[in-house]
Amino acid sequence: MESKGGNGKYYRTLHGELFNGDCREYLRSLESNSIDVVFADPPFNLNKDYGIGVNDNLTEDAYLAWCLEWVIESERVLRDGGALWIYNIPKWNLFIAQQCLSLNLQFRHWVAIDLKMNLPIANKLYPSHYSLLYFIKGKRPRVFNKVRTPIQVCRHCGGDVKDYGGHRGKIHPEGINLTDVWTDITPVRHANTKFRAANQLNEKLLERVIEISSIPGDVILDPFGGSGTTFAVAERLHRDWKGSEIGDIQPIISRLNGTRHEFQMPNKGDAGKGIN
């Protein structure tokens, strides 16, 4: 592995390339029609602390204008039939979906990720899911692999939670077809499972996204590297990867090297809001 460090520089592995700088700059440097899957998990504009270089407190118009910039570039770099996945809170994905529809992107799914993070909000329904948009470039997906989930069983008695209308014997031995509501993605909250203080996605989410929309040898792009979850999963699943991170990339470098980056967990009162 090679690390050149510093803002605007690159870190490379045998299978990937990480740019330490603004995602828009990095996306503009990539060739058109060169990426198989883009997974984007941008800051949610909830005034959270992601470290130096990240402003998570823009006006609504400024935030959506910024989103449009990287959405346009993401569409450009995707191959025909390539997949674009965008993880955000429902409020923003309503607007981002419209941005996608204005381009050569076809809507596939709005996936609800069931996650209860904080106390209910006054005068609102209890928010309990994040939104995962799934679009493809062009009319047909280049790759779509069917994913099955295990039959849910009771953790106490071991019996099936559902009776499946009396058709239990006809269910595929590998499980049931995946739906667009994912209830098995748990949050990463504990220091011993995290690689940085800020939010981190569960590897299971990235495994599913990558398995659905790519095959070994494909190129996965993540413009918001964060803690490096996408890159670590891509390497484990034998995909190549590219990405960028405007903040500190040392947690990603440590993770890909199989070591841990030292960090301090924030106080509960400093964690900021979750789903909005």
pLDDT of residue 37: 98
Please, are residues 198 and 251 in contact by the beta-carbon 8 Å criterion? no
> Quick count: other Cβ atoms within 10 Å of Cβ 2?
8
Domains and CATH numbers, the chain: 12-143+181-263 (3.40.50.150)
Q: How far apart are CA 66 and CA 226, in angstroms?
A: 18
pLDDT the model gives residue 276: 41
User: If we measure between CA atoms, which residue out of 221, 185, 218 comes closest to residue 203?
Assistant: 185
The DSSP H or E segment spanning 148 is strand 148-149
The answer to whether residues 10 and 17 touch, using CB atoms and an 8 Å cutoff, is yes
Collapse the DSSP code of 177 into the 3-class scheme (helix H, G, I; strand E, B; otherwise coil) and give the result.
strand
Sign of CA dihedral 178, 183, 187, 193: negative
Collapsing DSSP states into helix, strand and coil, what is residue 55?
A: coil
Give tens-digit pLDDT for 168-220.
Answer: 665 767 777 899 999 988 876 655 555 554 667 899 999 999 999 999 999 99
Distance between CA atoms of 5 and 2, rounded to whole angstroms?
A: 9
pLDDT tens, the chain, 276 aa long: 344 444 558 999 999 999 999 999 999 999 999 999 999 999 999 988 777 778 888 999 999 999 999 999 999 999 999 999 999 999 999 999 999 999 999 999 999 999 876 667 788 888 889 999 999 999 999 999 998 877 767 776 866 667 666 656 657 677 778 999 999 888 766 555 555 546 678 999 999 999 999 999 999 999 999 999 999 999 999 999 999 999 999 999 999 998 776 555 565 544 444 444
pLDDT of 261: 61
Burial of 172 (0-12, 13-18, 19+ CB in 10 A): exposed
Per-residue pLDDT, 30 = 98
